Amino acid sequence: MRVGDVLPPLEIEITRTLIVAGAIASRDYQDVHHDAELARQKGSPDIFMNILTTNGLVGRYITDRFGPRSVLRRVAIRLGAPNYPGDTMVLTGTVEAVEGDTATVRVVGANGIGRHVTGTVTVTVPGSDGAEGAEAAAGAEGIAGAEGAAVHESAGSRP
């Protein structure tokens, strides 16, 4: 991995099921994440994704790209445009810094109405240094689980 490397994009279809399942899995029972009528009464055109689901998808994006040995060290994200059912979010990333086997990646997730999420992820790939990490990232396939703890820092979200 090298500064300036651009990660392949990941397209995620935003379904009603993904939004509701993510809210339930993260124990976020706010009605705006599962009840379309109550969401509309509160001024939203539909239900929308919560920050914890977004955080998980950002983590998945990084671990998919860097492989099963990757460890998320820090995830700092900010929400913008909501993810509504029927849209597609495209996650992209650029390596901003590399120190040994640890990289900081700038991540952006955009949907049809704008940027849904922006932030940085610090990831360690044990045993990789510099170009070796890029080869590991390029060869990673499938969903890989993060072995470390990820922390999300939200600077606020808006429906």
Q: Sign of the CA dihedral 146, 95, 12, 119?
A: positive
Q: Name residue 51's amino acid.
A: I
Question: How does DSSP assign 14-78, residue by residue?
Answer: --HHHHHHHHHHTT---GGGT-HHHHHHTT-SS----HHHHHHHHHHHHHHHH-TT-EEEEEEEE
Q: How far is CA 29 from CA 20, 23, 24, 53, in A?
A: 9, 7, 7, 13
Cα 55 to the center of its chain, rounded Å: 5
Whole-model pTM: value is 0.80
pLDDT under 50 in the chain at which residues?
Answer: 131-159
pLDDT at 100: 95
Query: What pLDDT was estimated at residue 130?
Result: 54
C-alpha 101/C-alpha 74 separation (Å) is 14
Sign of the CA dihedral 145, 110, 119, 31? negative
What φ, ψ does residue 62 adopt, rounded to 5°?
Answer: -70, -45
Q: What percent of the chain has pLDDT over 90?
A: 78
Give me the pLDDT at residue 148, please. Answer: 31
